Amino acid sequence: MTAVAETVQAPSERRLRITEIFFSLQGESSRVGLPTVFVRLTGCPLRCTWCDTEYAFHGGGYRSFDEIFDEIATHGTPYVCVTGGEPLAQRECLGLLRELSDRGYKVSLETSGALDISGVDARVSRIMDLKAPGSGEVTRNRWENISYLNASDELKFVLADRADYDWACDVLAQHQLIGRCPVLFSPVQGKLAPADLAEWVLRDKLPVRMQVQLHKVIWGNVQGR
């Protein structure tokens, strides 16, 4: 009994610092376009040069798991995306991902690739970045994470210029990533023209999914969308 009691999480620990919870269309990944509830966790240990969610670095407020579940349920969709910031920077995120999956949600996690993803519930689709040099955070890539990726996960490269594109192609080849999971190539808005990236992908016949951020096409770069 004692051992069991020690592993049960105290109710007060089942909480997370949250920047926002909102309902929108999934703007990226293979789930693009699907009505989705986003749970944006506060905090990130990285500082990508082109980060578009700097407002999530600080602030936010603590919400219990039950409060989070209640708000998600009001939107009536099975799709939940846990994002940030860097969600895995908060230890309790793993519990949230597990309990959302227990409740039958189709859960995705957007993560920088800088932290260990091995503890993420197997039912969760991990959308993991590999940071290219243009991000300023290439040294933060946790290369061991690649071995944990499977067909239900996705690997995302956000590219600022041609040098980033060449780097990503080299990484795909060196780590034999094609076939391990879907691969996403995204241009940094305002730095790399989508048409240029599209031309490069077509010219090289790369079996990757070129994507732009649908929510920004529709609404622009606004918080809560």
Binding mask 97-136 for ligand SF4 (x = CB under 6 A): ---------------x------------------------
**Is residue 182 a contact partner of residue 154, using CB atoms and an 8 Å limit?**
yes
Least separation, in Å, of the C-beta of 176 and ligand SF4?
A: 25
Tokens linked to 18: 């949250």
User: How many residues contact ligand SF4, by CB under 6 A?
Assistant: 10
**Is residue 90 a contact partner of residue 62, using CB atoms and an 8 Å limit?**
no
DSSP string spanning 84-125?
Answer: SS-GGGSTTHHHHHHHHHHTT-EEEEEE-SSS--TTS-TTSE
Least separation, in Å, of the C-beta of 7 and ligand SF4?
A: 31
The single residue listed with the structure tokens 């020690």 is 6
The single residue listed with the structure tokens 């409740």 is 103
DSSP 77: -
- Is 213 annotated for ligand binding? no
Give the range of 9-17, 84-92, 175-183, 211-219 binding ligand SF4 by CB under 6 A. Answer: 84-92
Give the range of 44-52, 92-100, 115-123, 162-170 binding ligand SF4 by CB under 6 A. Answer: 44-52
State in Å, rounded, how far the first CA of the chain is from the last one: 47
Least separation, in Å, of the C-beta of 11 and ligand SF4?
A: 29
- Is 49 annotated for ligand binding? no
Q: State which of residues 44, 146, 181, 192 lies at the interface with ligand SF4 (CB under 6 A).
A: 44
Closest residue by Cα to residue 84 from 51, 133, 121: 51
Q: State which of residues 60, 84, 87, 187 lies at the interface with ligand SF4 (CB under 6 A).
A: 84
What backbone torsions phi and psi does residue 151 show, to the nearest 5 degrees? Answer: -65, -20
Sign of torsion, CA 154 94 116 23? positive
Which CB atom, from 85 or from 187, has the smaller least distance to ligand SF4?
A: 85
User: Binding site for Mg(2+): which residues?
Assistant: 53
Residues of this chain that bind ligand SF4 (CB under 6 A): 44, 46-48, 51, 53, 84-86, 112
User: Binding site for [4Fe-4S] cluster: which residues?
Assistant: 44, 48, 51
User: Binding site: which residues?
Assistant: 25-27, 40, 44, 48, 50-53, 83, 85
